[in-house]
C-alpha cells in the first residue's frame, strides 16, 4: 500500500489536464471478500487526487475492470502507472 500512496503523491503533482491511470492486478482477499484495489479505495480514498482512474486486470479472464474513476482531464495526454506487487513503472503517452 505504501507504494500506491507514493504513486498518489506523484499523481497529485501531475497537471490536471493529463489523464492519470493506476493499473493493478486483480487480487481478491478471501478474508474481506473484496479486491485489493477496492480495499485501497475504501481505506485511502482521501489520498486519491482528482483525475485518477484505477483499473484492475484479471489474469484468469484477461479482463480489465474499472474500479475507480475520478476524471477531470481535458487533453489526451496520459500518465500511466502499472503496479505489480511491490514495483511500479511510469509510462507517459503523448
List, for residues 29-49, the tens digit of each pLDDT value: 888 899 999 999 999 989 999
- Residues 6+ positions from 76 with CB-CB distance below 8 Å: 19
pLDDT at 61 > cutoff 80: yes
Judged against a pLDDT cut of 50, whether residue 51 lies above it is answered with yes
pLDDT at 77: 57
**Going by C-beta distance under 8 Å and a sequence separation of 6 or more, which residues neighbour residue 13?**
none
Percentage of the chain lying above the pLDDT 90 cut: 24
> Does residue 5 carry a pLDDT above 90?
yes
Residue 12: which pLDDT band, with cuts at 50, 70 and 90?
very high
Amino acid at each position: 500500500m505504501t507504494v500506491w500512496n507514493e504513486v498518489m503523491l506523484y499523481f497529485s503533482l501531475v497537471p490536471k489536464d493529463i489523464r492519470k491511470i493506476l493499473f493493478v492486478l486483480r487480487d481478491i482477499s478471501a478474508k474481506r471478500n473484496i479486491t485489493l484495489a477496492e480495499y485501497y479505495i475504501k481505506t485511502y480514498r482521501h489520498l486519491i487526487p482528482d483525475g485518477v482512474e484505477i483499473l484492475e486486470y484479471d489474469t484468469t479472464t484477461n479482463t480489465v475492470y474499472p474500479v475507480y474513476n475520478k476524471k477531470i482531464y481535458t487533453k489526451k495526454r496520459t500518465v500511466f502507472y502499472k503496479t505489480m506487487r511491490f514495483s511500479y513503472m511510469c509510462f507517459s503517452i503523448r
